[in-house]
Amino acid sequence: MKVISQIKLPVEKEMDLFEKKFLESMSSKVALLNRITHYIVNRKGKQMRPMFVFLVAKMVSDGSVNERTYRGAAVIELIHTATLVHDDVVDDSNRRRGFFSINALWKNKIAVLVGDYLLSKGLLLSIDNNDFDLLKIISVAVREMSEGELLQIEKARRLDITETVYYDIIRQKTATLIAACCALGAASVKPESDEIAKMRRFGELIGMAFQIKDDLFDYGNEKIGKPTGIDIKEQKMTLPLIYALNNSSKKEKDWVINSVKNHNKDRKRVKEVIQFVKDKDGLKYAVKRMKEFQQEALVILESYPESPFKDSLELMVNYVIDRKK
């Protein structure tokens, strides 16, 4: 059985019902919008985010969920989908999960409006049901994601990212949404409890480990078999590179920064930078930090009694750093 199917097992019933509710929450009186949202729903990914909401809700409440849990999962998926649609416009990307992106099929203007529509649908779903606590969790996540993206753009121009700034960027850009999923799960069944902050931190740690794993893929993995160097070509400062720079002479540092800034389209030069990072143990250090975040997340789970939901979350934490793509 695939790991994802195994993780999903204890919330399979909830996920099936969620699919129906999610489709309903997207509906509109505009035929074009319905055509586009139908296209989005039929090309969904692994749906890890709603899975987090249900697994956390069930773990902290001895296996029960309610309507608020379903709404929390729908809100997070609506907002996440909105950010993906907008991201494709920003990145001028024509593909998403192997399919054409919305902007590739319907042009940028429509893609931006669809993203706005999904965002407002998510916010209204919370407001119409007086889920103001859930709305606050998701709104903070949206704000942080935008700040994280802008911080990364600002720093990419100057290539002066420290390790601390790097963690700030990935916490806001990637980890905050997973943190929101886990906080929503807890808040939906145990409003105003200590569980919310605890689960938020749990999700944040998973998100940090997840992003470092993604950064490592740029240096090659078993599935691809060869390094891609895409982050270097896009002038993204990731943890392996930051560590290598912090442990090199001024001459080496100048050469790397010059390579990333001015020769990032030169294949041979990018390969040399990748080798330099490996020689400086940048990958080893990133793996070490990733495992520290993973272990910290597992420690949080230890305080909960044994259950299939806890087992699935443990599996999820390990999957994040063991995945091959």
Q: What is the pLDDT of residues 98-135, one digit of tens each?
A: 566 677 667 777 778 888 888 888 889 899 999 999 99
Q: Which CATH superfamily is domain 3-308 in?
A: Farnesyl Diphosphate Synthase (1.10.600.10)
Q: Is the pTM of this model over 0.85?
A: yes
Task: Find the Cα–Cα–Cα–Cα dihedral 241, 246, 251, 257, rounded to 10°.
Answer: 40
Which stretches of the chain drop beneath a pLDDT of 50?
224-225
What is the C-alpha separation between 262 and 265, in angstroms, rounded? Answer: 8
Is the separation of the CB atoms in 320 and 209 below 8 Å?
yes
Chain length of the chain: 325
Ramachandran category for residue 259: left, alpha or beta (phi over 0 → left; psi -120 to 50 → alpha): alpha
Is the separation of the CB atoms in 188 and 62 below 8 Å?
no
Q: What is the pLDDT of residues 244-297, one digit of tens each?
A: 998 989 899 889 888 888 887 888 888 888 899 999 999 999 999 999 999 999
Which residues are registered as beta bridge partners of 314? none
Q: Which of 266, 275, 320, 264 is nearest to 293 (CA)?
A: 320
What is the C-alpha separation between 178 and 117, in angstroms, rounded? Answer: 22
